[in-house]
Structures are given as C-alpha cells and as structure tokens.
Amino acid sequence: MTKVARLYEGTETAGKREAILNAALRLFTERGFHGTAMPSVAELAGVGAGTIYRYFESKEALVNTLYRDWKNFQITTILKDVPEETPLREQFRIYWNRLVEFAAEFPIAFGFLELHFHAPYLDEESRAMEERGHNALVSFFQHCLRQQIVKNLPPEMLGALVVGAYVGLVKASRAGCFQLTQEMIDQAEACCWEAIRR
Amino acid sequence: MTKVARLYEGTETAGKREAILNAALRLFTERGFHGTAMPSVAELAGVGAGTIYRYFESKEALVNTLYRDWKNFQITTILKDVPEETPLREQFRIYWNRLVEFAAEFPIAFGFLELHFHAPYLDEESRAMEERGHNALVSFFQHCLRQQIVKNLPPEMLGALVVGAYVGLVKASRAGCFQLTQEMIDQAEACCWEAIRR
DNA sequence: GAATGCGGAATGAACGTTCATTCTTTACCT
DNA sequence: AGGTAAAGAATGAACGTTCATTCCGCATTC
C-alpha cells in the first residue's frame, strides 16, 4: 500500500520525502537521469531545491533509492503467495498476469525500471536487487526444466524470451499500437507458453 | 559496406565526419544523450571541439543524423532481397536471422537504436524512420494473417511479442547470461514461431 | 528563545556553442 | 616548376548558460 500512496497521494498532503520520490520518478522516467535537473524535481515536488538534500545525499542517491524501492516492490509483488505445490503451468500464468498487472497499475514505475535497467549510475546495492529478480526468474525455469515441461534450453534464455516478449507487449500497448484487454493478455500468455513448452 | 567502414575503420584515416559519428555512436550508447559531453565526443573522434559544428548544426542534429542513418541501414539490411513468393514461414526465418546478425555485427548500433527508441529529442524525420520499420513489421504479419498461418491477433501484437523476444534475447546475451550459438539462435527462432503460429 | 526544518538565492563546476586564429590546400601568376 | 596569395578547414580557449549542490535567513515548534 505504501507504494500506491507514494504514486497517487496528493503531493501537498504527503510527506516531503514521498513528494520528492514521486516527482523524481516521473521526471527521471520522462526525461532520463541526466536529462532531469534537480531544481525541476524540487518544483514538481513542491519543495525548495535545498530540501531534497535533507532527504537524499545526492542525485545519484535519489535515483538509487527510487530504483531499489521499486525493484524490491516489483519483485515482492510478483512473487508473493504462490504455494510451491502449485503446478508450474499455473504458476507461469500467475506470474505473467502479475507482471502485466504491475505494468498497468504502476506504468511510470514500469517505465522507470525499464529505462534505468543496468544504468551505469546504479550502485552495488541496486545491482544486487536486479540480480535478485534475475535469480528468481532463472530458478523458476530451472524448476520447469527439471520437470521436463519446457524445451531443453538454458533457463536464462527461456527467461529472456518470455520477459522480452512481456516488455515488448507492454511498450507497444503504451505506444498506442493497441489497447490491452484481458483477453489479449491471456492470448499473449498462451503465446509465450507455447514458445517455450516442450 | 559504408556502415562497416564507419564502425571499424581507424578514426585517423577516416574522414572527420565519420570519426565524429563513430565517436558519438559509442558515447551516446554508453552514457546516453544527456550524459555525453560534446568535448568528449570531439576528444574520442580526435578532432577539435569546434570541428563538430562544421559538420553538425547541434548536438541534437548529431544524434538525429546518427539515428536516421543507422535505422535506415538496419531496415534496409533486414528487408533486402526477399522474393515476395518466398513462403512466409521461410521469410520469418530469414528476417529473424538477419535481426540477430545485425545485432551481432553492429552491437553498438543495436544498443544505440534500442536506447534512443522514441526518445524525446528525436525529430520528425527520425520518427518517420521508426514508423517505416514499424509498418514493415505490421504488414508482414498482416500478410501472415491473410494466409491464416498465425494466430488471429492484431499484427502489432504479434510483432511486439516477437521483436520483444528478440530484444530480450540479444540483451541477455550481451549482459553475459549466455553465449549465442547458431543452434540457440535457431531454437529461439523456433520458439518465436511456435508462439504465434496457428 | 532555542532548536529544527525549510526555501530559494548563491556558488562553482561543467555544459553546449562560438569565434578569432592557425594551419592546410588550392589557384594563379611569372 | 616555384612562389605567393586567397580560400577553406580546423582548432581550442572563451562565452553565456545551466546544473548539482551549498548556505544562510526565515518560519515554525516546543
């Protein structure tokens, strides 16, 4: 819930730290890290330029906090509450739907995470967060491989194809190529499973 | 061949314009548009800072020239010389292989085009180039749809899934997750076709 | 009235761009 | 051909601007 608040609460009522994070999320996503000026973050957040430095050590610290918080939230949201005994085919469906839901519910955060993936100004801790997500993905497909329900290919490759297709789908829908209905989401999920199923 | 020259010729022997374009391609890809300083482009190109402005009106003009040239080259390379009567399944294989070849042969240009896709500082002409590629993709899948050899989904969606998977695959291989062998490229192609085939 | 939080002008570094100057090539004359 | 002058390219220090960050005075709280 804290994340929803951070995105959608009016910036005047919210704490200044959250207002700054919200403003930075939007501007970094729209204009990129180097393309965003700190005073413009302050303006959008409705705070003085100096106030940002009461909460964040530097511009880099700000972008890293944002990246860590959202990446962590994304991973947690996608992975939570799936019983281990759930059939893997069903797990795939669940994860797929959660990925799409995440992109629909937090479109700016989705864009932010996409844009800043592997960026050179991300620090060790942010990189570690990226790896956590990567490991979860790989271990899921390793699990699938052990059950021989997917093609015998490196799990990293299966993950890359599926996640790539997911990102492509969301970005195209965002670009206005089409509007994603639940039916289309289900069909895309079927496509992705057929791509990798044994 | 002119493109190969632009990427790989020693900058000292090449014309200054090409040296500048090569340097800018590398730096814009590594550090992004706003993260790259013009004097650093000049330094890498082995020319004076002012010299850039004899060939390009501004930093934006430089990035747009780069984008247009490479996008145009990419589209031309992918689409050239495929007889209309070639079976669509075979055409798919050809286009897939050419996409992967392009990314392998021009890795920096691939990264550049990916990073700057839809960037706000691209001008009308660059956008038009993007659309040319998009149209080619869509019309190929429309063709497939008419022959009823792919799932009955919007052609933009089929394209988004396949190209997304392609980008995901190349990026993962670039990140060091695995080394792409021809066998893996073929297997990935099969995956993508199975994803969309009827 | 002391302490804390905040705003926004101030600061110095770095940016994109310009321009007076130098170097290189070309053209012409003898 | 040799010599000279004009033209064109190239240069990099310098310019104005913008940026991330700092700092100081004000407001608010206890």
Does residue A88 belong to any structural domain of this protein? yes
How confident is the model over B65-94, as a mean pLDDT?
A: 97
pLDDT digits (tens, 9 = 90+) for B118-161: 999 999 999 999 999 999 999 999 999 999 999 999 999 999 99
Measured CA to C1', the nucleotide nearest A38 is D20
Q: How many CB atoms lie within 10 A of CB B36?
A: 22
Determine contact: B160 vs chain A, CB below 8 A. Answer: yes
Please say whether the beta carbons of B35 and A33 come within 8 A: yes
Does residue B148 belong to any structural domain of this protein? yes
Contact between the CB of B58 and strand C at under 7 Å: yes
CATH number at residue B169: 1.10.357.10
Tokens of B98: 């050419």
Does residue A52 belong to any structural domain of this protein? no
pLDDT at B177 over 50: yes
pLDDT at A111 over 50: yes
Q: DSSP string of B97-119?
A: HHHHHHHHHSHHHHHHHHHHTT-
Q: What distance in Å separates residue B1's CA from the closest CA in chain A?
A: 31
pLDDT digits (tens, 9 = 90+) for A17-47: 999 999 999 999 999 999 999 999 999 999 9
Per cent of chain B over pLDDT 70 is 93
Does residue B45 belong to any structural domain of this protein? no
Which of B38, B127, B157 to mutate: most A Cβ within 10 Å?
B157
- Cβ–Cβ gap A165/B31 under 8 Å: no
Per cent of chain A over pLDDT 70 is 93
Does residue B11 belong to any structural domain of this protein? no
Does residue B184 belong to any structural domain of this protein? yes
pLDDT digits (tens, 9 = 90+) for B9-65: 433 345 889 999 999 999 999 999 999 999 999 999 999 899 999 999 999 999 999
pLDDT at A93 over 50: yes
pLDDT digits (tens, 9 = 90+) for B86-106: 999 999 999 999 999 999 999
Which structural domain, as residue segments, surrounds residue B145?
59-196
Determine contact: B127 vs chain A, CB below 8 A. Answer: no
pLDDT digits (tens, 9 = 90+) for A129-175: 999 999 999 999 999 999 999 999 999 999 999 999 999 999 999 99
pLDDT band at B4 (very low <50, low <70, confident <90, very high): very low
pLDDT band at A14 (very low <50, low <70, confident <90, very high): low
Please tell me the predicted confidence (pLDDT) of residue B45.
Answer: 93
Does residue B80 belong to any structural domain of this protein? yes
pLDDT at B8 over 70: no
Measured CA to C1', the nucleotide nearest B59 is C16
Determine contact: B194 vs chain A, CB below 8 A. Answer: yes
How confident is the model over A83-104, as a mean pLDDT?
A: 97
pLDDT at A7 over 50: no
Does residue A45 belong to any structural domain of this protein? no
Please tell me the predicted confidence (pLDDT) of residue A15.
Answer: 87
**Structural domains of chain A, count:** 1
- Chain A window 3-22: residues with CB closer than 7 Å to nucleic chain C are 16
Please tell me the predicted confidence (pLDDT) of residue B6.
Answer: 39
- Which residue in A160, A187, A194 is closest to B153 by CB distance? A187
Q: DSSP string of chain B?
A: -HHHHHHHS-TTTS-HHHHHHHHHHHHHHHH-STT--HHHHHHHHTS-GGGHHHH-SSHHHHHHHHHHHHHHHHHHHHHTT--TTS-HHHHHHHHHHHHHHHHHHSHHHHHHHHHHTT-TT--HHHHHHHHHHHHHHHHHHHHHHHTT-B-SS-HHHHHHHHHHHHHHHHHHHHTTS----HHHHHHHHHHHHHHHB-
- Cβ–Cβ gap B32/A32 under 8 Å: yes
pTM listed for this prediction: 0.92
